[in-house]
Amino acid sequence: MRETDVKPAPPGGEEVDAEADHDVDTDGGADADTAADADGAGDADTSADADTAADAGAPKVVVVGGGVAGLTAGIFTARAGMDTVVLDHGESILRRNSHLENMPGFPAGVNSRLFLDLLAEQARRSGCLFEQGLVTNLQTLGDGAGEDTLEGVEDDESGGTGGGEETDTSGFQLRVEADEEYDLRADYVIVASWSDTDYLERIDGVGLTRRGSKTFVDVDDFGRTGCDGLYAAGRIAEKPHQTVVCAGHGAEVALTLVDDSPVPFYHDWVAPEGYFTERGHDVPPGVEEIDEEERRRRERESMEVMREAFAEPHPDQPTMHPSVVEKRRDGE
């Protein structure tokens, strides 16, 4: 078993998504009676570069779920300078959608699977790292958390396994089940997958509401649970079964987390050169001023990325509901 702080997947590893934040568009939306959902992250590279690794002193965030809400949350925390890992397992229910037709900015709609691939690529470019696995236990560290210590784990200064000096044990430790069981340490956790909520039942202050086969996490108006540092976004926070809503909620919850953290932040905003400085103001934290040459470079890059993405039809078919697959198989 390995233990680690928030970290990248092994070099060359496949980027995965885990969740059931079940974001679906209004047109026919799929029902969400299945568990595992991933955001269908596509082929984005998951290996870490020195260029994209967050500063060692940055707060560490684990986003449980690679669906629309989870990936959007990750984009915002990573862009705010937080060391962010998206922990994914399964396939996003949005991949069942035939054609996403109510997402703003796409007048004729967009292929749902392409949308998920682009969202995952955006998260990667923003600095998110990806890990694969299913969370089986979540432990709060500090404040008497020793009663719920994960078996066989002792934390050293670096967050690894072994003895050593006493360290700050605030935050969270996640036990993750994959090909090899491992642990992740984080200062903050955003839960954005409702494929499995069993690991939340032992956390003091976290309220769970069950409706039939679905379990939702009780949150305040900004996505905070009753446990400091633990947030929930998207469908698991009982938001409507719509892609744009879950994306918006993921962003809002991430910004709430950033606001609750010690990270200096004003807005995630790219302004033209002089917008603040020529009015005698310092550029606020989270904001960037760019000159005209850089603006045009970024525009050209964005156009090229989108041309490439939309050059050919997406190769994947919509994922059919499991009950229909079974019925068709039985009828053969």
Asked, for residue 298, whether it belongs to a domain, the answer is no
* Percentage of the chain exceeding pLDDT 70: 75
What CATH number should be reported for the domain holding residue 176? 3.50.50.60
Indicate the average pLDDT of the chain.
81
Burial 303-330 (b: 16+ CB within 10 A, else e): eeeeeebeeeebeeeebeeeeeeeeeee
How much is the pLDDT for 275?
98
Asked, for residue 306, whether it belongs to a domain, the answer is no
Q: What average pLDDT does range 269-277 have in this prediction?
A: 98
Asked, for residue 283, whether it belongs to a domain, the answer is no
CA-based Rg of the chain, rounded to a whole angstrom? 20
pLDDT-based confidence at residue 91 (cuts at 50, 70, 90)? confident
- Kindly report the pTM of this predicted structure: 0.78
How much is the pLDDT for 312?
97
pLDDT-based confidence at residue 258 (cuts at 50, 70, 90)? very high
- Is residue 292 within a helix (H) or strand (E), and if so which, with residue range? helix 292-309
Asked, for residue 92, whether it belongs to a domain, the answer is yes
Classified as helix, coil or strand, 74 is helix
The residue whose two tokens read 């037709």 is 101
pLDDT at residue 214 is higher than 50: yes
| Tens-digit pLDDT profile for residues 110-121 | 999 999 999 999
pLDDT at residue 143 is higher than 60: no
pLDDT-based confidence at residue 24 (cuts at 50, 70, 90)? very low
pLDDT-based confidence at residue 195 (cuts at 50, 70, 90)? confident
pLDDT-based confidence at residue 290 (cuts at 50, 70, 90)? very high
Asked, for residue 120, whether it belongs to a domain, the answer is yes
Asked, for residue 107, whether it belongs to a domain, the answer is yes
Overall domain count for the chain: 1
Q: Measured between alpha carbons, how far is 298 from 303 in angstroms, rounded to an integer?
A: 9
Asked, for residue 320, whether it belongs to a domain, the answer is no
Higher pLDDT, 159 or 248: 248
Q: Measured between alpha carbons, how far is 191 from 138 in angstroms, rounded to an integer?
A: 11
| Tens-digit pLDDT profile for residues 2-13 | 445 444 333 333
How much is the pLDDT for 104?
97
Asked, for residue 282, whether it belongs to a domain, the answer is no
How much is the pLDDT for 108?
98
Q: What average pLDDT does range 135-139 have in this prediction?
A: 95
Domain that holds residue 215: 2-260
Side-chain-side CA neighbours of residue 278 (13 Å): 8
Q: What average pLDDT does range 284-288 have in this prediction?
A: 97
